[in-house]
Amino acid sequence: MIVATATDRNYVEITGVLLASIAANAGTDIDGVHIFGDGLSASDKDKLRASYGLPNIAFTDLTDADVAELSVLPSHRRLPRTAYARLLIPAKLSDYEGRLLYLDCDTLVVASLAPLRDLALEGHVLAAVADDLTADPAHHRARNALIGLPEGMRYFNSGVLLIDLPKWRERDVSGRVRAFRLSRDNLPTMDQDSLNGTFRGEWLPLEEKWNLHGSPHKKPGLDYWRKGGIIHFVGRYKPDYSDCDHPAHSIFLEYRARTPWASTPLKSQLQRYAAKYKHTARRFVSRLTGA
């Protein structure tokens, strides 16, 4: 099993902390880690290698053709184009015939991954954890209706995906997800909704522990997060910011201490606002110039 994630320069630090957590808890469980980078510098890659500290790590830079392909798909400030990069990964790993564990870069691995490596997929292309929104029946029905799914159909969170790569390629899942996204407007979580709309409930449910992503204020106890397998920091306030109030923030900081960012101050609220306005300005210029 290969673990893969996608990142850009805005998320290098939290990707480094993810890598440190994999090395600490699951480095011997997997064949390797593959990082798909959008605009990463040589220094960024060096820091990521140092965070992981094991030899079985590889990098793939998104090409101009990749970026052009992803740019066709709608995105916004809180959904960078690397969110769609998971659609490119199966083809980029064409020589690998095993399974892939895709992780969003804002996750932490806090347990062995051997159970996922050895899990029987029962003929499914994909295994995932039900999204927390399904705990609210009204919210679940509304989201399914927007996507075009029956109201009771299962809906997964796309931050942790266990994938049978040969079956994914054989069934052209990436192409089908792209087509679905381009056929729909106003999807709240563009990539995740498109994946759910494509799979239409045909996926294997994983235990909640493999993607702990519920509202942190509804599940505040640290023990809840420590007993998981993979912690997923969903939402606006990522753990590399000083004002993050997620109850698992202290766990993030434990692994951050193993990375080159150990002595670097956490980002401030002011830096978040500056990044927001910089991104908005860049998108405005891009629209004006057609770049």
Residues lower than pLDDT 50 in the chain = 279, 282-287, 291
Boundaries of domain holding 169: 2-263
Query: Does residue 283 lie within any of the structural domains?
Result: no
DSSP states of 29-54: TSSEEEEEEES--HHHHHHHHHHH-S
| Residues 162 and 121: beta-carbon distance below 8 Å | yes
Whether residue 252 is contained in a domain is answered as yes
Residue 289 placed within a domain: no
User: Which run of H or E residues covers position 64?
Assistant: helix 64-71
Give pLDDT, residue 70: 73
In a domain? residue 29? yes
Half-sphere exposure (Cβ direction) of 255: Cα atoms closer than 13 Å: 30
Q: Which are the contacts of 201, defined by CB distance < 8 A and separation ≥ 6? A: 149, 153, 154
- Residue 276 domain-assigned? no
How many domains is the chain partitioned into structurally?
1
Q: Is the pTM of this model over 0.85?
A: yes
Q: Regarding beta strands 32-38 and 2-8, do their DSSP bridges make them parallel or antiparallel, or are they unpaired?
A: parallel
User: Dihedral of the CA atoms 246, 250, 251, 256 (nearest 10)?
Assistant: 110
At position 260, the amino acid (one-letter code) is: P
So what's the pLDDT on residue 67? 77
Q: Is residue 67 left, alpha or beta, with left meaning phi > 0 and alpha meaning psi from -120 to 50?
A: alpha
List CB contacts of 108: < 8 A, sequence separation 6 or more. 17, 18, 21, 230, 231, 233, 248, 251, 252, 255
- Comparing CA positions, the residue from 239, 247, 169, 268 lying closest to residue 15 is 239
User: Which pLDDT score, from 0 to 100, does residue 110 have?
Assistant: 97
Judge whether 266 and 252 are in contact, CB under 8 Å: no
- Domain contains 57: yes
Residue 147 has a pLDDT of 93
Whether 273 is in a domain gets the answer no
**Token pair for 31:** 């064949």
Residue 221 has a pLDDT of: 78
**Residue 93 to residue 60: CA distance in whole angstroms:** 10
CATH number, domain of 158, equals 3.90.550.10
pLDDT of amino acid 287 = 47
pLDDT score of 105: 96
Does residue 177 form part of some domain?
A: yes
The H-or-E segment that residue 102 falls in is strand 99-103
* Residues 6+ positions from 165 with CB-CB distance below 8 Å: 90, 93, 96, 97, 98, 99, 100
